[in-house]
Amino acid sequence: MDYRQHAFQVFDYQVLHLQLNTPLFVLALILVVMLCVNLLLFRPVLRTLDGRRGELDRLAKVTAAEKAEIAALMERYKRDLDRVRGEVETVRQQAHTASQKTQERVLEQARQDADKELQSALAVLRDEMAQARAQREHAVRQLATQTADRMLSA
């Protein structure tokens, strides 16, 4: 055995010969593989995850802004709806008041027309009654005259 071989040979187990340069070579190989895996696999994956995280943060800000805008629009909608409901109620009340006044005016006009018609009908009735009385009195006088004439001529 050579001196150099003996210096690098740490353990000799007859079947497994473990030399000092074998673990160093394996360690170097592991470091090279880790470096390659890091460069080729982990960095792109981490870059993609960071990009996603940035995009998610941006979308979260956009969503928060849109939610705030929606809340403001909803509040404005509610205010406008309350205002319009108030206006509708005012217009409805005005229309109701106007229709009541119109109804009262029409009813009053109808009452006046009915009173006029009633007065004219009463006047016509009085005239007809007066004529009927006059005709009756005339008929009674004629009948009395005829009866008196018959009684006297008999």
Give the C-alpha separation, 120 to 96, whole Å.
Answer: 35
Residue 9, classified by CB atoms within 10 Å of its CB into exposed (0-12), middle (13-18) or buried (19+), is: middle
pLDDT of residue 149: 85
pLDDT of residue 25: 78
pLDDT, averaged in runs of 10, over the chain (154 residues) = 50 56 79 89 89 94 96 96 96 95 95 93 92 90 88 79
pLDDT of residue 15: 56
pLDDT of residue 148: 84
Task: Answer for the pair 21, 8: CB distance below 8 angstroms, yes or no.
Answer: yes
Task: Answer for the pair 41, 49: CB distance below 8 angstroms, yes or no.
Answer: no
Show the DSSP H helices in the chain as ranges: 3-8, 21-37, 43-153
Domains of the chain, residue spans: 3-143
Sign of CA dihedral 94, 95, 96, 100: positive
pLDDT of residue 5: 52
